[in-house]
Structure 1
Amino acid sequence: MTRLAIVRQKYNPAGGAERFVSRALGALRDSGMVQVSLIARGWEAVDGIEVHPVQSTYLGNVWRDWSFARHAKRIWQRERFDLVQSHERIPGCDIYRAGDGVHRHWLHLRRQGMSIWQRLALWCNPYHHYIMRAEAAMFTHPRLKLVICNSEMIKREIQHYFDLPASKITVIYNGVDLKTYHPDLKTQYRQTMRERWSIPEDAPLLVYVGSGFERKGVARAVRAIRDNPQAWLMVVGGDKRLSRYQATAKALGVSDRVVFAGPQQDVKPFYGMADAFILPTLYDPFPNVCVEALACGLPVLTTLQCGAAEFIQPGVNGWVCDALDHRALSDIVGAWLSAREREPDLSAAARESVSRLSLEAMADQMLNCYRQLLSISAKAAR
Structure 2
Amino acid sequence: MAEDRSNKKLFLFTSILSVILGCFYFLYIPVFTSRLSSNLEFVIVVTRHGSRAPLYFYSNDPYKDPEYWPEGSGGLTAKGKLQMYRRGQNLKQRYYSLFQGKYDQKTIYIRSTQSARTYMSAAVLLAGMFPPTKEELWHPDINWQPIPIWPDYLDKTMIVVNDTLCPRFTKEQEKYMPVIHNYFNEHRDLFDYVKNYSGLPDDNLIAFGKVYDSLSCEHSEDIPLPAWTKSVYPDKINNAGSFIQEALVTGFGNNTMNRLFAGPLLDDFNSWIVRKIRGAVTEKMLVHSGHDFTLRGLMSAFGIIGVQHVEPSASLMIEVHQSSVGHKVKVFYSNHSSMEEPLFMNMPKCPEPCRLEKFLEVLKKLKVDDWHKECNSLE
Same fold (TM over 0.5): no
**What TM-score comes out, normalization by structure 2 length?**
0.28
Q: Which one has more relative contact order, counting CA pairs under 8 Å at least 6 apart? A: 2
**What TM-score comes out, normalization by structure 1 length?**
0.28
